[in-house]
Amino acid sequence: MHDVKVNGHVHYADDDDDDEEAVELAATRGQLIDALTEQLEDVLEEEDDLPPDRPPPPPPTTTASPPPTPPGDALHDAVTKIRRLLPPVAQLVEVGEKGSGIRARGEVQDFHKIQAQCLSEGVLWEDPNFPAVDSSIFYTRGPPKPFEWRRPGEITGDPQFMVDGASRFDIQQGELGDCWLLAAVANLTLHDDLFFQVVPDDQGFEGNYCGVFHFRFWQYGRWLDVVIDDRLPTVYGELVFLHSATKNEFWSALLEKAYAKLHGSYEALKGGTTCEGMEDFTGGVTEMYELKEAPSNLYKVLLKAYERSSLMACSIEPDPYVTEARTDSGLVKGHAYSITRVQYVDVQTPRRSGKIPLIRLRNPWGNEAEWNGPWSDQSPEWRLIPDHSREEIGLTFDDDGEFWMSYEDFLKHFTQLEMCNLSPDSMEDDNIKKWEANTFEGEWVRGVTAGGCRNYLDTFWHNPQYRITLTDVDEDDDENRCTVIVALMQKNRRAQRKKGMECLTIGFAVYNLGHDPDSLPKPLDYNFFKYNASCARSPSFINLREVSCRFKLPPGSYCIVPSTFEPNDQGEFLLRVYSEKRNNMEEHDEEVGIGHLDPRVKDEDEDTELAKKDEKVKALFLKLAGEDGEVDWMELKEIMDYTMRNELPSRPRPPTHQQIAPAEDDTLVGQLVNLLCGVICKDTPFGAAFASGGEGHAADTRSSGFAKEVCRSMVAMMDADHSGKLGYEEFKILWTDIRHWRKVFKLYSKEGQGFLSAFELRQALNSAGYRLNNHILNILFHRYGAADGTITFDDFMMCAIRMKTMIDLFRERDPDNTNTVSFSLEEWMEKTLYS
């Protein structure tokens, strides 16, 4: 079975379980392609204006007509102009990905400090980070109307933060296409404890009013306090966007502004799923159901969700030609509705009685746009309900956007259901059943841990891996299985829309680890995924902020592998797993430490050879080192550049005369002899023989070779007395390490290219004797990797040196293997600065 992406979404197609390429049926970056096409059409039109960085054409001559521009030149000019006008794709991928959550621009804003300062100065606060300008509303175009920013006191004579508390009827949609957010806000008002966590009640227009308000939102595992001023966009004195049905109530409009500030502008809120809003208000995990394929037990799931205070919303597939088109039944397509109650209701007829499953919904418009079918307002079906049942469910028949309908009609008319399961931390009532939750933060790094989906078998195993062990089955479960909800969320995408960042296409797969999971490698390797199929997976690879799915699995150990669809798509993610019963979950990865040197790297007789020729080697070293008997980093560089010349990038040149190349000698003595002969025979016909490693190799080691920082780090690694130089004994140990690292590099690099793929970094460092996990690998690549996902020989050596230095430093201070050490500030600076 292979993952196949269709129009930015991915569905599964049955196929043989071999390693053929994925079938990509549509481009994922539609906006980029549209922009490229538009620019290309503009360039290929014969316009008079030229790009500013191109010189004007020469004046026409009378002797001959200029030749026509070859097609290749026109295409080259088009590409040149496109590259200048559009940002590089690499920048589109990387923008905004470092760190977690939203970084403050300048000093962190503290609500209470700002309030106290404004009260002492007697001024109304103006937010410098989200100013009252058009760019805070739109970022792709100018305002379609003359917006004027006004404070509530300038809109009405008696502004109130809340009037008679907060309710779902305070949510009236404005001219912004964020009904998905409004449906989530309406759900939030049904739960006081959740509502006041987002909307603190320590603010208002009386007493300590000074134009500053604050709201709290969950962002990627953390709660952020967003501070705003109360200047709101208006047109002709009326609020343009979200507002309350009560003209002098402003909590909902201010909440929308704070959420817009969190994401950079009001326009950034256009288009989304109610799941996103519900998660940001609760920190919960959402699920999405296609109601045409609803599971048979969905109403039972809805009942349990309502009992656990889950937030729920639904929608109808939009009409591609009409925005928010109304149906004959009174429902609106492409519009988000809140589910405000789920309940069986007693029905009595002259012939029979029983229970019917009903659902109460609300349109955020809060008007007469309601369902007009069975069980709608004033429908005859309500005559079958006893008066006490009507009173129990709070039945009203107002044009307030709220209505009831049967579960059968719900499935028939709606196409999608979104549900937010609250995290245990957000539920204070101990009598309510809570989920068992695990949360892990991770990162896909280009060339290291961004392995793509299972279609790309060679790199898939490089993705982050997480092991979960399920032991206890669900209560009242006839199949003896465990309910698990897996949710994979990518970070920081909506806030970076203005910079060209769109959501990656993401998904995950779950693998059964069998009866002996401890015997499997950490992480699971290429062979495991080649011969084992997934037992569960996300319903699709899709370009949404989050993809989630509910599973029923037998007790056992499983590995969850989150990934992007394509390899090398870089981004940060949050993986959350909910289960009904307690589970054990951890990263399925190696522990950082020292391993074993790869047998392919270590020569069996190298120690014996060095022991036999110790005096001769020492004499040669001292002759090269000079009178002090030690080498500094410059002398070490001279030795290294010569002896490692075949492994360094070089500029080939033809020989100037017949070369007398010495035979390849990889021993320490042979290489030192070659170097010494090159120095002695310098400026003679024989010098060239020792200055070149053979035909096609560069001889100028002064302009190439090891970087000075690498050589300095080599010295610092072995320099126990901090003299800045190495004696022979230190050099001998260093030389052994360098020979091993050189062989490791040759083992994993492509022949003659002078670099290795970052996907090979873990295996290369394992062969060098170091065990690393994904967190360390990602850091190493950020520090030493190139933008194209490769690592040069120089950088690999630097990476190995740093690894050895830091591990040796730690082990020296931890003789009892406690895995903890302590340093004073002076010691820490001394050890880390000179390394």
For the stretch 774-788, pLDDT in tens is: 999 888 888 888 888
Question: Average pLDDT for residues 420-428, to the nearest whole number?
Answer: 75
Could you tell me the pLDDT band of residue 643, with boundaries at 50, 70 and 90?
low
Amino acid at 321: Y
- Specify the number of domains making up the chain: 4
Does some domain include residue 40?
Answer: no
Q: How confident is the model at residue 708 (pLDDT cuts 50, 70, 90)?
A: confident
Q: What is the pLDDT of residue 327?
A: 86
pLDDT of residue 231: 96
Domain boundary among 248, 281, 314: 281
799 belongs to the catalytic site: no
Please report, rounded to a whole number, the percentage of residues in the chain having pLDDT higher than 70: 75
Please name every residue paired with 312 in a beta bridge, in sequence order, or none if there are none.
Answer: 339, 419
Coil/strand/helix, residue 544: coil
Residue 28 forms part of a structural domain: no
- Helix (H) or strand (E) segment spanning residue 44: helix 30-44
Query: Do 459 and 517 share a domain, yes or no?
Result: yes
Given a contact cutoff of 8 angstroms between Cβ atoms, the answer to whether 709 and 637 are in contact is no
Confidence of residue 306 (pLDDT cuts 50, 70, 90): confident
The residue among 255, 281, 307 that closes a domain is 281
CB 693 within 8 A of CB 646: yes
Give helix 728-748 / helix 708-718 axis angle, nearest 10°: 130
Burial class (CB in 10 A: 0-12, 13-18, 19+), 539: middle
Q: Identify the active-site residue in 2, 118, 179, 549.
A: 179
Model confidence pLDDT, tens digit, residues 91-111: 222 222 333 344 445 578 999
Weakest-pLDDT range from 273-282, 577-586, 682-691, 704-713 = 682-691
Is the pLDDT score of 47 beyond 60? no
527 and 616 in a common domain:
no
Domain boundary among 263, 281, 299: 281
Residues in the chain: 835
Tell me the backbone φ, ψ of residue 403, rounded to 5 degrees. -155, 165
Per the annotation, the verdict on 527 as an active-site residue is no
CATH number at residue 548: 2.60.120.380
Q: Does the pLDDT at position 485 exceed 90?
A: yes
Q: Is residue 509 part of a domain?
A: yes
Domain match, 361 and 445 both: no
What does the pLDDT read at residue 563? 96
Looking at the DSSP bridge assignments, the partners of residue 559 are 467, 511
Residue 11 has pLDDT above 50, yes or no: no
> Residue range 201-223: average pLDDT?
92
Per-residue pLDDT, averaged over 768-772, amounts to: 89
* Distance between CA atoms of residues 379 and 523, nearest Å: 61
In a domain, 548, yes or no: yes
Range 120-126 average pLDDT: 95
Q: What's residue 39's pLDDT?
A: 44
Pair 571, 619 in one domain: no
Average pLDDT, the chain: 77
The pTM assigned to this predicted structure is 0.71
Residue 106's domain comprises 89-281
Tell me: do 142 and 290 sit in the same domain.
Answer: no
Q: Are residues 617 and 745 in the same domain?
A: yes
* Structure-model confidence comparison of residues 651 and 419, the more confident one: 419
Tell whether 786 and 640 lie within a shared domain. yes
pLDDT on residue 512: 96
Indicate whether 656 belongs to any domain. no
Q: What integer pLDDT is reported at residue 679 of this predicted model?
A: 52
306 occurs within a structural domain: yes
Q: How far apart are CA 503 and CA 544, in angstroms?
A: 6
pLDDT at residue 84 above 70?
Answer: no
Is 363 among the catalytic positions?
A: yes
Q: What is the pLDDT of residues 564-605, one digit of tens each?
A: 999 999 899 999 999 988 889 999 998 888 888 888 887 655
Q: Which pLDDT band, with edges at 50, 70 and 90, does 628 fall under? A: confident
CA 416 to chain centre: 26
Is 800 contained in some domain?
yes
For the beta carbon of residue 119, count every other beta carbon within 10 angstroms.
15
Please give the structure tokens belonging to residue 653.
């040149």
Across 363-377, 432-446, 621-635, 638-652, which has the greatest mean pLDDT?
432-446
Domain harbouring 340, CATH code: 3.90.70.10
Q: Is residue 110 a contact partner of residue 226, using CB atoms and an 8 Å limit?
A: no
Domain co-membership, 449 together with 348: no
Residue 423's pLDDT is what? 80
Query: 140: pLDDT confidence band, cut at 50, 70 and 90?
Result: confident
Selecting among 191, 263, 335, 697, the annotated active-site residue is 335
Same domain, 768 and 627: yes
pLDDT of residue 96: 28
621 or 245: which leads in pLDDT: 245
Q: Give residue 347's identity as a one-letter amino acid code.
A: V
For 340-362, what is the mean pLDDT? 85
Same domain, 731 and 822: yes
Residues 301 and 174 in one domain: no
Q: Are residues 609 and 716 in the same domain?
A: yes
DSSP E strand stretches across 785-826: 790-792
Q: Is 659 part of any domain?
A: no
Q: What is the pLDDT of residues 597-619, one digit of tens each?
A: 888 887 655 556 555 656 666 77
The pLDDT value recorded for residue 668 is 53
**439 beta partners:** 576
CATH, residue 724? 1.10.238.10
Identify any residues that bridge with 358 across adjacent strands, giving them in sequence order.
Answer: 343, 406
Helix (H), strand (E) at residue 499:
none
Q: Are 592 and 494 in contact (CB under 8 A)?
A: no
What is the pLDDT averaged over residues 323-348? 84
- Point out the catalytic residue in the list 214, 263, 363, 420: 363
